[in-house]
Copies of this chain bind each other. A is one copy, B any other.
Amino acid sequence: MTVTLSDIKEAAQRIKPYAHRTPVLTNESLNQQVGARVFMKCENFQKVGAFKFRGASNAVWSLTDEEAARGVVTHSSGNHAQALALAAKMRGIPAYIVMPSNAPQVKKNAVAGYGGQITFCEPTLEARESTMERIRLDTRATVVHPYDNERVIAGQGTAALELVKDIPSLDVIIAPVGGGGLLSGTSIAATETKKGIRVIAAEPEKADDAFRSLQAGEIIPSINPKTVADGLLTSLGTLTFPIIQKRVEQIVTVSEAGIIEAMKFVWERAKIIIEPSAATVIAVLWEKKIDLSGLEVGVILSGGNVDLEKLPWQK
Protein backbone atom coordinates (compact mmCIF):
# COMPACT_ATOMS: atom_id res chain seq x y z
CA MET A 1 0.00 0.00 0.00
CA THR A 2 1.29 3.41 -0.88
CA VAL A 3 -0.03 6.91 -1.26
CA THR A 4 -1.54 8.17 -4.52
CA LEU A 5 -2.39 11.56 -5.95
CA SER A 6 -6.06 10.73 -5.26
CA ASP A 7 -5.26 10.28 -1.59
CA ILE A 8 -3.66 13.72 -1.54
CA LYS A 9 -6.58 15.32 -3.36
CA GLU A 10 -9.02 13.71 -0.94
CA ALA A 11 -6.89 14.92 1.96
CA ALA A 12 -7.03 18.44 0.54
CA GLN A 13 -10.83 18.34 0.51
CA ARG A 14 -10.95 16.78 3.97
CA ILE A 15 -8.72 19.34 5.71
CA LYS A 16 -9.96 22.37 3.77
CA PRO A 17 -12.31 23.58 6.54
CA TYR A 18 -9.56 23.38 9.18
CA ALA A 19 -6.14 24.12 7.67
CA HIS A 20 -4.97 27.38 6.14
CA ARG A 21 -4.35 27.59 2.41
CA THR A 22 -0.99 29.26 3.00
CA PRO A 23 0.33 32.01 0.73
CA VAL A 24 3.26 31.76 -1.68
CA LEU A 25 5.68 34.66 -1.21
CA THR A 26 8.53 35.91 -3.36
CA ASN A 27 11.40 38.21 -2.53
CA GLU A 28 13.51 40.09 -5.03
CA SER A 29 16.60 40.29 -2.79
CA LEU A 30 16.53 36.53 -2.32
CA ASN A 31 16.16 35.93 -6.05
CA GLN A 32 19.16 38.14 -6.75
CA GLN A 33 21.20 36.53 -3.99
CA VAL A 34 20.69 32.98 -5.24
CA GLY A 35 20.25 33.62 -8.97
CA ALA A 36 16.92 31.84 -9.29
CA ARG A 37 13.23 32.70 -9.01
CA VAL A 38 12.17 31.40 -5.60
CA PHE A 39 8.55 30.75 -4.59
CA MET A 40 8.18 30.26 -0.86
CA LYS A 41 5.23 28.13 0.29
CA CYS A 42 4.67 29.54 3.77
CA GLU A 43 3.83 26.63 6.05
CA ASN A 44 5.22 28.76 8.85
CA PHE A 45 1.83 30.48 8.57
CA GLN A 46 -0.01 27.15 8.91
CA LYS A 47 -1.98 26.37 12.10
CA VAL A 48 0.44 25.50 14.97
CA GLY A 49 3.14 27.16 12.85
CA ALA A 50 4.08 24.11 10.77
CA PHE A 51 2.98 21.84 7.90
CA LYS A 52 2.45 19.07 10.46
CA PHE A 53 -1.10 20.26 10.97
CA ARG A 54 -2.01 19.06 7.48
CA GLY A 55 -1.08 15.43 8.08
CA ALA A 56 -2.48 15.37 11.60
CA SER A 57 -5.80 16.84 10.44
CA ASN A 58 -6.10 14.39 7.60
CA ALA A 59 -5.47 11.50 9.98
CA VAL A 60 -7.98 12.76 12.55
CA TRP A 61 -10.76 13.50 10.05
CA SER A 62 -10.23 10.18 8.24
CA LEU A 63 -11.38 8.26 11.31
CA THR A 64 -14.90 6.84 11.54
CA ASP A 65 -17.00 8.36 14.31
CA GLU A 66 -16.53 5.19 16.33
CA GLU A 67 -12.75 5.23 15.94
CA ALA A 68 -12.62 8.94 16.58
CA ALA A 69 -14.51 8.62 19.86
CA ARG A 70 -11.63 6.57 21.27
CA GLY A 71 -9.16 9.30 20.42
CA VAL A 72 -5.67 9.40 18.91
CA VAL A 73 -2.26 8.75 20.41
CA THR A 74 1.31 9.53 19.43
CA HIS A 75 4.73 10.09 20.89
CA SER A 76 6.46 13.29 19.88
CA SER A 77 8.22 16.20 21.45
CA GLY A 78 7.83 18.47 18.47
CA ASN A 79 5.39 20.09 16.08
CA HIS A 80 3.52 16.83 15.40
CA ALA A 81 2.39 16.65 19.03
CA GLN A 82 0.90 20.13 18.87
CA ALA A 83 -0.63 19.48 15.47
CA LEU A 84 -2.31 16.26 16.56
CA ALA A 85 -3.56 17.84 19.79
CA LEU A 86 -5.14 20.74 17.89
CA ALA A 87 -6.64 18.54 15.16
CA ALA A 88 -8.19 16.29 17.83
CA LYS A 89 -9.50 19.28 19.73
CA MET A 90 -11.18 20.53 16.57
CA ARG A 91 -12.93 17.20 16.17
CA GLY A 92 -13.73 17.13 19.90
CA ILE A 93 -11.88 13.90 20.64
CA PRO A 94 -9.04 13.04 23.04
CA ALA A 95 -5.39 13.26 21.99
CA TYR A 96 -2.97 11.28 24.14
CA ILE A 97 0.56 12.59 23.72
CA VAL A 98 3.60 10.79 25.06
CA MET A 99 6.45 13.22 25.65
CA PRO A 100 9.92 12.66 27.08
CA SER A 101 10.23 14.17 30.56
CA ASN A 102 13.08 16.39 29.35
CA ALA A 103 11.05 18.08 26.59
CA PRO A 104 11.30 21.88 26.72
CA GLN A 105 8.67 23.51 28.93
CA VAL A 106 7.50 25.67 26.03
CA LYS A 107 6.58 22.55 24.03
CA LYS A 108 4.81 20.93 26.99
CA ASN A 109 2.81 24.13 27.45
CA ALA A 110 1.93 24.31 23.77
CA VAL A 111 0.61 20.73 23.67
CA ALA A 112 -1.34 21.25 26.90
CA GLY A 113 -2.65 24.54 25.52
CA TYR A 114 -4.17 22.70 22.57
CA GLY A 115 -5.86 20.29 25.01
CA GLY A 116 -3.48 17.35 24.56
CA GLN A 117 -3.41 14.83 27.45
CA ILE A 118 0.29 14.43 28.13
CA THR A 119 1.98 11.38 29.63
CA PHE A 120 5.64 11.85 30.43
CA CYS A 121 8.18 9.06 30.08
CA GLU A 122 11.92 8.50 30.16
CA PRO A 123 13.70 10.16 27.23
CA THR A 124 14.42 6.97 25.28
CA LEU A 125 12.76 5.66 22.15
CA GLU A 126 11.97 2.41 23.95
CA ALA A 127 10.20 4.18 26.82
CA ARG A 128 8.28 6.36 24.39
CA GLU A 129 7.05 3.39 22.39
CA SER A 130 6.18 1.21 25.38
CA THR A 131 4.33 4.07 27.07
CA MET A 132 2.39 4.76 23.89
CA GLU A 133 1.51 1.07 23.52
CA ARG A 134 0.21 0.94 27.09
CA ILE A 135 -2.03 3.95 26.43
CA ARG A 136 -3.23 2.46 23.18
CA LEU A 137 -4.23 -0.77 24.91
CA ASP A 138 -5.96 1.14 27.72
CA THR A 139 -7.88 3.53 25.50
CA ARG A 140 -8.04 1.79 22.10
CA ALA A 141 -7.02 5.12 20.62
CA THR A 142 -5.67 5.18 17.04
CA VAL A 143 -1.91 5.62 16.71
CA VAL A 144 -0.93 8.51 14.43
CA HIS A 145 2.74 8.19 13.59
CA PRO A 146 4.40 11.54 12.80
CA TYR A 147 5.44 10.46 9.29
CA ASP A 148 5.28 6.73 8.59
CA ASN A 149 1.52 6.78 8.07
CA GLU A 150 -0.37 6.97 4.75
CA ARG A 151 -2.88 9.54 5.92
CA VAL A 152 -0.18 11.73 7.35
CA ILE A 153 1.86 11.53 4.13
CA ALA A 154 -1.23 12.35 2.05
CA GLY A 155 -1.98 15.34 4.29
CA GLN A 156 1.56 16.68 4.04
CA GLY A 157 1.35 16.39 0.24
CA THR A 158 -1.42 19.00 0.13
CA ALA A 159 1.09 21.83 0.57
CA ALA A 160 2.88 20.95 -2.68
CA LEU A 161 -0.47 20.37 -4.39
CA GLU A 162 -1.40 23.99 -3.60
CA LEU A 163 2.05 25.26 -4.59
CA VAL A 164 2.02 23.61 -8.01
CA LYS A 165 -1.51 24.88 -8.60
CA ASP A 166 -0.52 28.45 -7.66
CA ILE A 167 2.76 28.42 -9.64
CA PRO A 168 2.30 25.97 -12.52
CA SER A 169 5.57 27.00 -14.18
CA LEU A 170 7.85 25.60 -11.44
CA ASP A 171 10.91 23.68 -12.62
CA VAL A 172 11.94 22.34 -9.21
CA ILE A 173 10.50 21.81 -5.72
CA ILE A 174 12.73 21.60 -2.66
CA ALA A 175 11.48 20.20 0.65
CA PRO A 176 13.38 19.37 3.83
CA VAL A 177 13.76 15.75 4.92
CA GLY A 178 13.66 14.37 8.45
CA GLY A 179 11.42 11.30 8.72
CA GLY A 180 10.33 11.92 5.15
CA GLY A 181 6.58 12.52 5.57
CA LEU A 182 6.64 15.98 4.00
CA LEU A 183 9.12 14.95 1.33
CA SER A 184 7.10 11.85 0.37
CA GLY A 185 3.84 13.76 0.09
CA THR A 186 5.55 16.59 -1.77
CA SER A 187 7.20 14.25 -4.28
CA ILE A 188 3.95 12.44 -5.08
CA ALA A 189 1.91 15.63 -5.42
CA ALA A 190 4.54 17.33 -7.59
CA THR A 191 5.54 14.52 -9.94
CA GLU A 192 1.96 13.30 -10.45
CA THR A 193 0.60 16.75 -11.31
CA LYS A 194 3.50 18.08 -13.37
CA LYS A 195 5.50 15.95 -15.76
CA GLY A 196 9.23 16.51 -15.51
CA ILE A 197 9.24 18.57 -12.35
CA ARG A 198 12.35 17.92 -10.28
CA VAL A 199 12.01 17.15 -6.56
CA ILE A 200 15.06 17.82 -4.42
CA ALA A 201 15.45 17.36 -0.67
CA ALA A 202 17.39 19.48 1.79
CA GLU A 203 19.09 17.82 4.75
CA PRO A 204 21.61 19.09 7.33
CA GLU A 205 25.12 17.69 6.80
CA LYS A 206 25.11 16.90 10.49
CA ALA A 207 21.98 14.75 10.20
CA ASP A 208 22.58 13.24 6.77
CA ASP A 209 21.05 9.82 7.36
CA ALA A 210 18.55 10.19 4.50
CA PHE A 211 21.35 11.16 2.11
CA ARG A 212 23.32 8.10 3.18
CA SER A 213 20.22 5.89 3.05
CA LEU A 214 19.62 6.80 -0.60
CA GLN A 215 23.24 6.05 -1.41
CA ALA A 216 23.21 2.74 0.46
CA GLY A 217 19.82 1.64 -0.88
CA GLU A 218 18.59 0.89 2.63
CA ILE A 219 17.45 2.87 5.64
CA ILE A 220 20.40 4.03 7.71
CA PRO A 221 19.16 5.20 11.11
CA SER A 222 19.94 8.65 12.42
CA ILE A 223 21.97 8.27 15.61
CA ASN A 224 22.17 11.24 17.99
CA PRO A 225 22.48 13.88 15.30
CA LYS A 226 23.38 17.40 16.42
CA THR A 227 22.04 20.16 14.20
CA VAL A 228 20.34 23.50 14.64
CA ALA A 229 17.56 22.10 12.43
CA ASP A 230 15.84 20.32 15.31
CA GLY A 231 12.86 19.25 13.22
CA LEU A 232 15.03 16.99 11.07
CA LEU A 233 16.50 14.59 13.60
CA THR A 234 14.44 11.48 12.81
CA SER A 235 15.20 8.56 10.49
CA LEU A 236 13.32 7.60 7.34
CA GLY A 237 10.45 5.14 7.72
CA THR A 238 9.49 1.99 5.84
CA LEU A 239 6.70 3.84 4.04
CA THR A 240 8.59 7.02 3.25
CA PHE A 241 11.88 5.49 2.09
CA PRO A 242 10.63 3.73 -1.08
CA ILE A 243 8.58 6.78 -2.11
CA ILE A 244 11.65 8.96 -1.78
CA GLN A 245 13.84 6.43 -3.62
CA LYS A 246 11.41 6.45 -6.50
CA ARG A 247 10.55 10.13 -6.81
CA VAL A 248 13.29 12.33 -5.36
CA GLU A 249 16.09 13.33 -7.73
CA GLN A 250 18.65 13.91 -5.01
CA ILE A 251 19.21 14.93 -1.42
CA VAL A 252 21.45 17.98 -0.99
CA THR A 253 23.17 18.37 2.37
CA VAL A 254 23.73 21.83 3.82
CA SER A 255 26.08 23.17 6.47
CA GLU A 256 25.06 24.58 9.84
CA ALA A 257 26.48 27.97 8.83
CA GLY A 258 24.51 27.87 5.58
CA ILE A 259 21.28 27.09 7.42
CA ILE A 260 21.78 29.96 9.87
CA GLU A 261 22.81 32.49 7.20
CA ALA A 262 19.87 31.56 4.99
CA MET A 263 17.48 31.76 7.94
CA LYS A 264 18.70 35.20 8.93
CA PHE A 265 18.56 36.45 5.35
CA VAL A 266 14.91 35.39 5.06
CA TRP A 267 14.05 37.08 8.36
CA GLU A 268 15.84 40.28 7.33
CA ARG A 269 14.66 40.55 3.77
CA ALA A 270 11.39 38.67 3.49
CA LYS A 271 10.31 39.68 7.03
CA ILE A 272 8.95 36.25 7.85
CA ILE A 273 9.93 33.97 10.70
CA ILE A 274 11.14 30.56 9.65
CA GLU A 275 12.70 27.87 11.82
CA PRO A 276 16.10 26.34 11.05
CA SER A 277 14.54 23.21 9.53
CA ALA A 278 12.69 25.42 7.03
CA ALA A 279 15.86 27.36 6.27
CA THR A 280 17.56 24.21 4.93
CA VAL A 281 15.66 24.58 1.64
CA ILE A 282 16.93 28.13 1.25
CA ALA A 283 20.41 26.93 2.21
CA VAL A 284 20.41 24.59 -0.80
CA LEU A 285 20.11 27.66 -3.03
CA TRP A 286 22.38 29.73 -0.80
CA GLU A 287 25.30 27.31 -0.83
CA LYS A 288 24.95 26.60 -4.56
CA LYS A 289 26.21 23.03 -4.34
CA ILE A 290 23.93 22.27 -7.27
CA ASP A 291 23.21 24.58 -10.18
CA LEU A 292 19.64 25.85 -10.19
CA SER A 293 20.45 29.20 -11.76
CA GLY A 294 17.68 30.84 -13.73
CA LEU A 295 15.11 28.23 -12.71
CA GLU A 296 11.75 28.66 -11.02
CA VAL A 297 12.16 26.95 -7.68
CA GLY A 298 9.35 26.24 -5.23
CA VAL A 299 10.47 25.73 -1.65
CA ILE A 300 8.40 24.41 1.23
CA LEU A 301 9.08 26.54 4.29
CA SER A 302 8.12 23.84 6.74
CA GLY A 303 7.55 25.88 9.89
CA GLY A 304 8.23 28.94 12.00
CA ASN A 305 8.47 27.73 15.58
CA VAL A 306 11.52 29.37 17.09
CA ASP A 307 12.48 30.36 20.62
CA LEU A 308 12.66 34.14 20.25
CA GLU A 309 14.76 34.46 23.39
CA LYS A 310 17.60 32.52 21.84
CA LEU A 311 18.34 32.93 18.16
CA PRO A 312 20.97 30.81 16.45
CA TRP A 313 23.01 33.78 15.21
CA GLN A 314 23.34 35.27 18.68
CA LYS A 315 26.21 34.46 20.98
Interface residue tally for chain A (C-beta within 8 Å): 22
| A23, A264, A270 pick with most chain B CB within 10 angstroms | A270
- Pick the interface stretch among A141-149, A167-175, A292-300, A303-311: A303-311
Q: Are B304 and A313 in contact (CB under 8 A)?
A: no
Q: Are B268 and A308 in contact (CB under 8 A)?
A: yes
Which residues of chain B are within 8 angstroms of A267 by Cβ–Cβ distance?
A: 273, 308
Expressed in whole angstroms, the Cα–Cα distance for A235 and B270 within the complex equals 30
Given known A-B contacts A272-B273, A273-B267, A308 and B304 have beta carbons under 8 A apart: no
Tell whether A314 is near chain B: CB-to-CB under 8 Å.
Answer: yes
Cβ 8 A contact of A309, one of B25, B309, B313: B313
Tell whether A44 is near chain B: CB-to-CB under 8 Å.
Answer: yes
Which residues of chain B are within 8 angstroms of A304 by Cβ–Cβ distance?
A: 271
> A259-315: which residues lie under 8 A (CB-CB) from chain B?
264, 267-268, 270-274, 304, 308-309, 311, 313-314
Tell whether A45 is near chain B: CB-to-CB under 8 Å.
Answer: yes
Chain B residue at smallest Cβ distance from A264: B308
Which residues of chain B are within 8 angstroms of A28 by Cβ–Cβ distance?
A: 47
Which residues of chain B are within 8 angstroms of A268 by Cβ–Cβ distance?
A: 308
Q: Are A271 and B309 in contact (CB under 8 A)?
A: no
Chain B residue at smallest Cβ distance from A49: B271
Expressed in whole angstroms, the Cα–Cα distance for A313 and B310 within the complex equals 11
Expressed in whole angstroms, the Cα–Cα distance for A214 and B172 within the complex equals 56
Q: A45-B270, A264-B308 are in contact. List 8 more A-B contacts (CB 8 A).
A: A42-B271, A44-B271, A49-B271, A267-B308, A268-B308, A271-B273, A309-B313, A311-B311
